[in-house]
Structure 1
Amino acid sequence: MSYGVTTIDVHKKLKLDKRQGSENWYVRLTLDNGKRVVKSTKTDDLEEAKVRAIELYHETKARIKNHLPAQTRKFKHVAEYAMARMQRELDEGGGKQAYKDYFSALRIWLIPYFGDTDVAKIDLAALTAFDAWRTETNKKPFSQSGINNHNAALNRVLDEAELHGWIVKSMRPTLLNKGVKSESRGSFTDAEYKKIYTALRSWHKKTKDKKAAATREVLRNYVLFLANTGVRHGTEALRLRWRNIEWQENGGERYLVVNVDGKTRKRSAVARDTVEGYLDRQSTLNPALSYDSFALLIAAKCNEHVFTTRLGAVANIASLNRAFNALLDDLGLKIGADGKSRTLYSLRHYYATRDLKRGISTHALSKQMGNSTAMLDKHYSKYSPLLNAKMHSGRDMRKIQKKEAAANGGGVVATAFNMLTAGKLDEAGLLAALGVERQNYVVTEEIAMKALAAKNDDLIKGDTLLRILNG
């Protein structure tokens, strides 16, 4: 490999190169493992360049002896490598949608602060200083979720540096997160949700602005879609294209399935049956679509975005947020009874609470919503007492006992008293057959009437009657 137009041997593994287009000398050091360290001496004087080359040689040897990387790179340089790798994964259909959040974290926060710092010099002190700068720049403490995103992005850069040998594992610092614990967004009651979708039927007519009206038309279908699929607002829903929606069969039944590119991975979410109507109405807004039926649209695997306005523009997150917040203000629903603000993301919480109320397990719900069961337990465990109030109160147990007694007890009761009348069963046997000593014993009207008749016929004693009646 040619390294320049002129090469000077300093010694066996150390050379100086003069490159075309540059007057400065570059030092080239070949390590024992065959890798090379190339660095500018920043001088065109040969003797000075030799001195700096020798300094680099001894410095590199010392780093290797102390189990440090032979060379390092500026943070910005390594971050560019990391972002290029993540972008390749996305282009190839892999990676995670969260990578796009990492790009923002790197460009807005990490590179501006650490850009000219050697990646090997990012330690606890550097991270502490960064945290102080970030808080001051942001004018308020970051949330834990925001800092987690920054840490994930930083880890990608450190992974890249370790991969190239610019840091060693022992040098990686423990990342900090002293952010403010984020609170879950508010949800809606069934009555509030009904109030919202009812108002949306005509809300687009209450503005003369064409763009605002077009956004509000989409908002109606968008709200109903979010509340009946559990799909994430913005990150998942607004990226949807018609080709991502399909019919799937299971057990002889047909279901509408939405294939989303989630926050952490791709998944398929089964939509509630009503979503077909909402999406069919939404499709009529897009002037680029012309299909005779919803079935033909789905079969066509069209690449158009689902949530497109009648003006031909894809609805954007800012416009939808603004429109929905204005609607909540008009309806007096912006703040819930729990004091929490509600947003479009609250419709995802509404979906989750409705499913939990129906008895859907957190495991099944996690597959639908793209969350871990631990995350669902963390955010929704506080709702469980009320969502399962009937179970916790014991009413469901009493109803089950009464149903069992009505369904199964009649035959046993009649047989037991018939045997008593025929002299084939004594009082102790009667009590055992009725289950008087069992914990779930229930005195039905039939048992009471037959016991009283048996006492009237002197078939049982008074204390036996009381035990049957009182349990």
Structure 2
Amino acid sequence: MATHTLMGGKLHVYRRENSTCWQCSTYLAGKNRRVSTKEESLSNAKEFAEDWYLELHGKHKRGEVVNERNFRTAAKQFEREFEIITEGQRSSAYVAGVKLRIKVNLIPFFGDMGLSEITPGQVQEYRIHRREQAIEKRGEPPARSTIHQEIVALRQVLKTAVRHEWLDRLPDLSEPYKSSGKISHRAWFSPEEYRQLYTATRRRANSPVRKRYKWQCEQLHDYVLFMANTGLRPDEAMRLQYRDVVIVEDEATEETILEIEVRGKRGVGYCKSTTGAIRPFERLKERNDPAPTDLLFPKTHRELLNNILDEEGLKFDREGNRRTAYSLRHTYICLRLMEGADIYQIAKNCRTSVEMIEKYYASHIKNNLDAAAINVRKIRPQKKKEKVA
């Protein structure tokens, strides 16, 4: 490795064997500091190194150089811990998503900042930076939920720094304006739209575009009916094995239903279907002749579902919300509410909270409004007629 010294031996310019660019380093405030000059010419590299050295010493005299760990170090420690502490609690896709947000968005902006330099003002600068960057690349700002997920990842990294005593306390990461966004309902299918959807999937199952796609089309049709009559999350349905589903006679309703042992993000839970899920489940068993440990839905059929939604004009609801397989769960909840089902029992059956249902589902179901209770009129006492003497 070629090395040159400057500034009385306090500054070193060197080039590694596997690199074409020169780097420089110095020892300051109890820490070795180095940076790439990004120069292949030695003379240009020396000039860069001297400027960098003098600027660094100027910052040190002004108290701007702090000997502390930076965000990049904390992020590396967080990633090392996160996969271990969330094992069995979060899916691998979720963990990969958090890591990707840190690598692609957070580190390029906060990477070299000292942890104490990440202030509420810097976090707000990050929000502005992300908006400007997205508009420049795609012509539109990132979704509010996207920024929220990135700030959540930032908070998790900073919490790691607090745990290791690299940071005294968390900075305020809340938005200074618009602290609570507009609550919009989840995309779902109204009864008429749901009928249109399963009619279209049944038609495609009976007459596929090509014969070799018949199995996929039949699977999708049964998937739509099964999901809309059980309220399962898509990831729960993808984990479902045939041994997890049992056909039973329900004593309370005297109807034949499915009892399902569900494994998802909330751990193991249980679900009771409506009678509409029986026939799709029976067709799945007849079609696939499965072993008890086989998956009900080994494939997602996402592309086929999106094609049918586009063909039927159902991909977006009137507010512009995109419909996906998750919308079938939302449809189940909304239809149950419209039929007058108890909200607490729906929450238990869907492994969610009453608060979530009231916030995202019940608020836009007109059947939840009792006109008799709303349009109450106060009974006014009649005036007594004066007696004529």
TM-score normalised by structure 2 residue count: 0.66
Which of 328, 335, 340 in structure 2 is aligned with 1:359? 340
In structure 2, runs of 5+ residues without a counterpart are: 1-23, 35-59, 380-389
Which of 61, 75, 79 in structure 2 is aligned with 1:79? 75
The percentage of aligned residue pairs carrying the same residue is: 23
Partner of 1:271: 273
Alpha-carbon distance in 1 for matches of 2:161, 2:297:
41
Partner of 1:256: 259
Alpha-carbon distance in 2 for matches of 1:338, 1:173:
33
The CA deviation at 1:376 is: 1.7
Alpha-carbon distance in 2 for matches of 1:341, 1:39:
51
Q: Deviations over 1:259-294 (max 9, x none)?
A: 1322x66543333344344234335665xx644xxx
After superposition, the Cα gap between the structure-2 partners of 1:372 and 1:112, relative to the gap in structure 1 and judged at 3 Å, is farther
Alpha-carbon distance in 2 for matches of 1:345, 1:124:
35
The CA deviation at 1:158 is: 1.0
Contact 1:75-1:111 within 8 A present in 2 as well: yes
After superposition, the Cα gap between the structure-2 partners of 1:80 and 1:285, relative to the gap in structure 1 and judged at 3 Å, is farther
The one-letter code sitting in structure 1 at the alignment partner of 2:144 is: Q
Partner of 1:142: 142
The CA deviation at 1:354 is: 1.5
Q: Secondary structure at the match of 2:260?
A: strand
Aligned length in residues:
315
Contact 1:122-1:173 within 8 A present in 2 as well: no
Give runs of aligned pairs for residues 91-170 of structure 1, distance below 5 A.
Answer: 91=87, 93-95=88-90, 98-139=94-135, 140-169=140-169
Q: Secondary structure at the match of 2:263?
A: strand
Partner of 2:37: none
Give runs of aligned pairs for residues 124-273 of structure 1, distance below 5 A.
Answer: 124-139=120-135, 140-169=140-169, 171-176=170-175, 181=182, 183-204=184-205, 205-208=207-210, 210=212, 214-233=215-234, 235-238=235-238, 240-242=239-241, 245-247=244-246, 255-262=258-265, 267-273=269-275
Which of 317, 324, 329 in structure 2 is aligned with 1:348? 329
Q: Deviations over 1:219-241 (max 9, x none)?
A: 212212221122223x4433x14
After superposition, the Cα gap between the structure-2 partners of 1:325 and 1:243, relative to the gap in structure 1 and judged at 3 Å, is closer
Q: Deviations over 1:41-83 (max 9, x none)?
A: 66xxxxxxxxxxxxxxxx9xx99xxxxxx96323233223222
Contact 1:96-1:265 within 8 A present in 2 as well: no
Alpha-carbon distance in 1 for matches of 2:250, 2:223:
29
Greater relative CO (CA pairs within 8 A, separation 6+) = 2
Alpha-carbon distance in 2 for matches of 1:184, 1:99:
27
The CA deviation at 1:242 is: 1.0
In structure 1, runs of 5+ residues without a counterpart are: 1-23, 30-37, 43-58, 64-69, 292-296, 309-313, 398-438, 440-471
The CA deviation at 1:107 is: 3.0
Coordinate RMSD, CA, aligned: 4.2
The CA deviation at 1:136 is: 2.4
Partner of 2:371: 392
After superposition, the Cα gap between the structure-2 partners of 1:280 and 1:336, relative to the gap in structure 1 and judged at 3 Å, is same
- Structure whose alpha-carbon radius of gyration is higher: 1
Alpha-carbon distance in 2 for matches of 1:251, 1:203:
33
